[in-house]
Structure 1
């Protein structure tokens, strides 16, 4: 077994579901997401990625992706239901997103979650070189840092939470709250998206564990755990280059023609998830149509809803509700050959996404709660000509960085309607000023800046960041 000085541990492998014709594996990229965030860092860096390959009861040997070695973890049907669909996505996910959907607590799920986390930890312990850095990703694997601390006390352990970390009063609802918090604090560095999240962790460490805690340091059992906000970002140069490609520009022009050359195109790109505020957005747009503030003949909305967690009951119900509402709106306000909403429940490749970003006059990103939202950043990166408007939820982590967006409370449908109208009616000079400010911020806070900040904090010698970010 070859060992690595850097090991990434994540729920999923960053792979396409099918191999390329030559048998090589390729990156699986989705709107935003972990694989996109780490792509620029790891595509040319010797490392090992441990994760589930998406199948049941199988962990086939998979080829490397460039210099990245792949170590698959097998999940049984029972484990998939208990660990992934159950505790991770029916308990932790809704609770970490302000309980937008009611969390479900089943005692059996946590045992399965613990068992699977141990399997990930054991795999990481096996492939890590002495003194290696192991970088554990996200809420699926919150027990892994503590388990690694027991198995390999010689390694550096980093943990990064890509989703929000909830306020203490919500986290305290978890039946296994102490074990989850202790597991996460097995890391040397806990990275979070926002300073408030670090504050929440410190409060809980004091309350549940009796630790001495500040917002950037927790002392537990004589060991210091550092915490901090490291807002994740995107590969800005990659998206800018993609949006400038002649074939992508041509594709964007064709998309606009296919939409009927409307005066305005509103675009939303989300995973199909109840945290994304899709239903609130549809309600607001429907009422603008009803009130005659928006006309189908000159304005069109494109809603991309990438399929997500289709085996989880609440997601199937959500899909049915959204598709029913889109059908109602189109039936009531659409015209022959002119639907009010173009609804696409399918994944898009990167070139098509870039073309959509170029097509959109308004990018509407209105989650009810989101750790960051990289789609908002991708849109800004794609708009090299300085045009376009970003309507952005106050409850997305990106709002702290994009104060020049049209910020909105998505729970307030009347406020959302007013903000959409303000963005649609804004003067071109105002839009250029806003976009210029957002692009300037993003250029200095790209994915490499994020990785450099996090990895330098994890390894104060600087060797880890220097080796990764050559």
Structure 2
């Protein structure tokens, strides 16, 4: 079996079982590398006065990781800049927040070139290389320039937007052209794959070929949809841990006479948190008789604090949660409990199990693994109800959830009322169908489907130069 080299922007050495914080990509990649001998390569998360390309190697929980430090200018232009101020909002349909700065693009190209040059000495002839996410789209091109002939695959964890939106990006053709240096490009859903194909046909004059292939820019590559999953059995087993039981018991005691509604998201404008708060406020207004019978707990760890849009959404959520509590709270009860900190995965498992409702309302999401974790954590004999945005990639697989438009406070309010009133037989029926899907389409299925597809492609006899 070929060795697997995984490349992602950040490398987070795996922690002991149950100790990881929120972060679906890190969990999924660690699970992949435990099954395949190889290396996880990327940025250490640290900055250095001058880029040296020095690699730090370590082994953690059965995974070999290789990391490099970046310069401060790299961090600002590549990570805070092009990745998170340009590509992230664009991919999540927020072109009003996208910053198009030439220095950002130059930093993005520079860091991808540095990653390729640093990684190249680690690559052996039979290795499979699996590159992840929007931070590293040009990495395949840079590796080909260094005469890497290996099979190289790319997986996009975020949505691929409609081609009219992609066209708003300066040098969008060059960015998409660099994807054709990969042998296989994967997307979360058929919808995102079709959006990419439409760009290739409409903007690049490309063509669809039989067998899931695309041709453009004088090159041909394989494309496909590979929906990511979780280790459902492992997450369900976390319920037996002392921390999970303790978290469950604490929340159950606090909500003994109330239903717990829970949301867990990184603090991000794409997650629909403002819309979620407004939808819950509408529920309180619509159902005064139920106000004291429900508690909404939102866990939202702070992220990307150096990006202005994230500072602004944090301020708006602080004000919004304060206003709602000020309007509806009583002496011994606040309707919203809003927490900006990370929790371990075993603690989250206990929290999910204590909840009557999981509220997952992204405005646009590549997949959303929180929805799958919520399902995996439920008590089969008394499961909670999942309310899920129809704009999350997971909605394609999780039809038995209550699917809603997160932009509509009325739909959120109605779904909350329906979830609260749902009888046990219907909750069990919906949960069983959801859990069957989460178990079948798990992280192992995702990993194996992508890696096997990449393994099945021919090795390039000559690397492409451009």
Same fold (TM over 0.5): yes
Alignment of 1:284-323 (within 5 A): 284-293=279-288, 295-323=290-318
Instruction: Name the counterpart of 2:41.
Output: 50
Instruction: Name the counterpart of 1:6.
Output: 4
Alignment of 1:11-26 (within 5 A): 11-15=9-13
2:162 aligned to which of 156, 167, 173: 167
Change in Cα spacing, 1:100 to 1:208, as seen in structure 2 (3 Å) is closer
The structural deviation recorded for 1:62 is 4.4
Instruction: Name the counterpart of 1:438.
Output: 434
Aligned residue for 2:332, secondary structure, equals coil
1:451 aligned to which of 441, 447, 453: 447
1:283 aligned to which of 278, 283, 296: 278
Change in Cα spacing, 1:109 to 1:118, as seen in structure 2 (3 Å) is same
Change in Cα spacing, 1:402 to 1:293, as seen in structure 2 (3 Å) is farther
Aligned residue for 2:430, secondary structure, equals helix
CA RMSD of aligned residues (A): 2.2
The structural deviation recorded for 1:122 is 1.8
Alignment of 1:51-450 (within 5 A): 51-57=42-48, 61-99=56-94, 101-214=96-209, 216-220=212-216, 223-245=219-241, 247-257=243-253, 259-293=254-288, 295-386=290-381, 387-450=383-446
Unaligned runs of 5+ in 2: 459-466
Q: CA offsets, 1:133-180, max 9 Å, x none? A: 111000000111121222234211010000000110000001010111
The structural deviation recorded for 1:30 is 3.5
Residue 37, structure 1, aligned to residue 28, structure 2: yes
Q: CA offsets, 1:305-334, max 9 Å, x none? A: 011101111101110110111111112211
Unaligned runs of 5+ in 1: 463-470
The structural deviation recorded for 1:363 is 0.1
Aligned residue for 2:334, secondary structure, equals coil
Tell me which moved more, 26-35 or 380-389: 26-35
Question: Is the contact made by 1:166 and 1:197 (CA closer than 8 Å) also made in structure 2?
Answer: yes
Instruction: Name the counterpart of 1:467.
Output: none
Aligned mates of 1:290, 1:412 — CA distance in 2: 15
Aligned mates of 1:438, 1:110 — CA distance in 2: 41
Change in Cα spacing, 1:222 to 1:183, as seen in structure 2 (3 Å) is closer
Aligned mates of 1:74, 1:28 — CA distance in 2: 25
The structural deviation recorded for 1:186 is 1.2
Instruction: Name the counterpart of 2:462.
Output: none
Tell me which moved more, 286-295 or 310-319: 286-295
Aligned mates of 2:333, 2:95 — CA distance in 1: 34
Greater length-normalized contact order (CA 8 Å, ≥ 6 residues apart): 2
